[in-house]
Amino acid sequence: MKIAELFSVSGSAVVVTGGASGLGLAIVESLASNGARVTMLDIDAAGVAAQTQRLRDAGHDVRGAPVDVRDHGALDRAIDEAAALYGRLDVMFANAGIDSGPGFIGAWAGPNRPRNPAGALEGYSDERWNKVIEVNLNAVFATLRAAARHMRPQKSGRIIVTTSLAALKTEAVVGAAYMAAKAGAAHLMRTVALELAADNITVNAIAPGFFVTNIGGGHAHDANLQRSVATSIPSHRVGFPEDIAGLALFLASSASGYITGQQIVIDGGWGLGEAD
């Protein structure tokens, strides 16, 4: 098989949650620009409309729908509608996620980092904890369940979950709820991969490190913060949404057909430790 055919997603029916910005939008663009038919779902109705129109104007087969992934009924309906439109569901990206606010350390880098009372365990409200778990874990479960309902009868499919480097290592500047939810999503991914393997459905995860997106209030766009974080990344730079495109295309294509239950870290080496 030619390499171009191996990595082809042309004609594939794809749904991406959290697809109107950041990593989700980069995933949508990567697959749509390579011929996939993509539905983006996002809570940001204005963002969905604007990005859908922009990509359609560029000649891509993209549609969008505003959905709060915490509403499992609405999420089911949106995925069902996309599958009905396309006649099948080939690829599902469970990408939607939110941050959990600050952790108990209030700075990204440098010595003598101050403790942050707002992120202390005893200051965590049930509301704050539950919202993060609902979006970053419960909605992933609902997304995988909906995808399986369509993929099992066709005996094929690709499911990709966006987890985080925080699923693999503790980080004091990241809120506890975020780490717990992402670790849970990673283990859920492995469990579902085991269940669906016999149906020729692969289930994998992308675990990003520090990427410049709007999550966390968009603080990652600050150039000073980027330089500060980059000092602890062996690649000496932070990640940008376009860095996710190749991995997303690989996991959505036939090239990854014998890979399942894996969490692939994409972090410039951050999780390895510091290097000069």
Quote the tokens at residue 254. Answer: 């036939």
Q: Which amino acid belongs to residue 142? A: A
Question: How far apart, in Å, are the Cα atoms of 246 and each of 40, 242, 255?
Answer: 18, 8, 12
User: Contact, 178 vs 112, CB < 8 A?
Assistant: no
Catalytic choice (86, 124, 178, 258) = 178
Quote the tokens at residue 223. Answer: 């150039």
Q: Any idea what DSSP says for residue 118?
A: G
d(Cα 124, Cα 101) in Å, to the nearest integer?
10
Is residue 178 flagged as an active site residue?
A: yes
d(Cα 28, Cα 14) in Å, to the nearest integer?
9
Quote the tokens at residue 39. Answer: 């539905």
Task: State the CB neighbour count (10 A cutoff) for residue 221.
Answer: 11
**DSSP letters along 210-265, please?**
SB-SSGGGGGGG-HHHHHHHHTTSTTSS-B-GGGGHHHHHHHHSGGGTT--S-EEE
Residues identified as active-site: 178
